[in-house]
Amino acid sequence: MSSVEFQGVSKKFGGTVAVEKTDIAIEQGEFFSMLGPSGCGKSTTLRMLAGFIAPTTGRILVNGRDITDLPPEARGIGIVFQNYAIFPHMNVFDNIAFGLVERKQDKATIKRKVEATLAQVGLTGYEGRFERELSGGQKQRVALARVLVIEPEILLLDEPLSALDKQMREEMKFWIKDIQKSIGITTVYVTHDQSEALTMSDRIAVMNEGRMLQIGSPVDIYEKPSSRFIAEFIGDSNLLRASVTELTDTGCVVDLGEGVAVPARVSDAVSVAPGEPVGLLLRPEMVRLMPAHDGEKPRLSGKIVDEVYQGALRRYRVAAGTHELVVEVPNRPELVRMAAGTPVDLFWSAESGVAVP
């Protein structure tokens, strides 16, 4: 039995479709992310699960129980908002105790649970503080504690890191993931930040225009995207114009023009046919760049257009025939820097290229 199940769920606002018919099954303890640009329907999907929006069609099940018609307060689902929504007129203790008070638990139990949860999120001693006296990271911890204390069946996180500065965001990513793992709570995470999704998730659903385009592990999504949109939305990408020449056991062979044929993998979620125009996805870090020399035959040859220094990396733009691609080279002293105009050879392994329709 799945922890969360969407059965044919869709949502229309007036005449516009916010979420197209969706079926998802999320497993017990899974960290499931919905990733997409703003307006893609991910928040609407989350809000249907929380009970703030009623779906137009379909049913939502939590641990086998149909919750489609239940109000939010009867769902036992905890949600952390983007802006944390800490009650400004209550101190930290009362914020965290809120759900327990609503459940009419006795004072001693509430005190014990709140204190235990505060310790869990590392905020012991902050009971008397108010929202305005907390930093962004502390608010986040309070918001999470307020939800965890009621021991919800499902945890929903709505862009919880977007209000934090970069350093805090990195720290909280791992912290949230650790807490989630230690409790083993089924978690649905909404974000537009691909690095958050890749770092934290067991599975990612990439959404655009109300549709779930691909659902898969971070490795799947990053290394075998099923469409151009996903390839470009997640990570940096080179998409070379190509066409399929033949199908193979591991995927296909594509023609890059001028008689250059290279192997490519294909996502399980799609199928391609010979003659079909596709994009050959090559991640900038998967391509090896060397000054042109005799010997091993390169996949492509070209010339350096320019170099951008990025500290840990050097990014080269390379023109190769009709294609232009970006290649990242680790910034190591033994790797020769190449000036604009330098003839170069490009290499990549057979697994690196992905054909995307």
Partner 1 sequence: MGRTIPLPMLILAVLGFCYMLLPILVVVLAGLTAGEFLTFPPEGLSLRWVVAFLQSEKYLSAFFFSFRLALLTMIVATILGTAAALFLSRTRFIGRGAMRAFFLSPVVLPGVVIGFSLFAFYISTGIGLTRTIWGLWIGHILYSTPYVIGTVGAALASYDVSLDEAARSLGASPMRTFRKITLPNISQGIQAGSIFAFIVSFGQFEVSLFLSAPNAEPLPIAMYNSLRYKFDPSAAAAGIFAIILVTASVLLTNRLVNIGRLLEKK
Chain residues binding partner 1 by CB under 8 A are 50-52, 71-73, 75, 77-79, 81-83, 85, 87-89, 98-99, 102-103, 146-147, 150
Nearer to partner 1, 19 or 150 (CB): 150
Nearer to partner 1, 83 or 124 (CB): 83
Nearer to partner 1, 31 or 84 (CB): 84
Residue 178 and residue 61: Cα distance in Å, rounded?
Answer: 26
Q: Is beta strand 288-291 parallel, antiparallel or unpaired with respect to 277-282? A: unpaired
Residue 318 and residue 11: Cα distance in Å, rounded?
Answer: 45
For residue 346, give the nearest of 284, 314, 300 by alpha carbon. 300
Nearer to partner 1, 53 or 239 (CB): 53
CB of 69 to partner 1, least distance (A): 15
What dihedral angle (degrees, nearest 10) is formed by the CA atoms of 287, 290, 295, 298? 30
CB of 143 to partner 1, least distance (A): 8
Nearer to partner 1, 51 or 216 (CB): 51
Nearer to partner 1, 161 or 213 (CB): 161
Residue 148 and residue 155: Cα distance in Å, rounded?
Answer: 8
Residue 276 and residue 243: Cα distance in Å, rounded?
Answer: 6
Structure tokens at 228: 């151009």
Residue 85 and residue 131: Cα distance in Å, rounded?
Answer: 9
Nearer to partner 1, 8 or 72 (CB): 72
As a whole number of Å, the CA-based R_g of the chain is 24
For residue 151, give the nearest of 191, 202, 116 by alpha carbon. 116
Q: Give phi and psi for 306, each to the nearest 5.
A: -160, 175
The stretches of the chain forming alpha helices (DSSP H) are 42-50, 92-102, 107-120, 136-148, 166-183, 194-200, 218-223, 228-233
Residue 245 and residue 262: Cα distance in Å, rounded?
Answer: 10
CB of 45 to partner 1, least distance (A): 15
CB of 100 to partner 1, least distance (A): 9
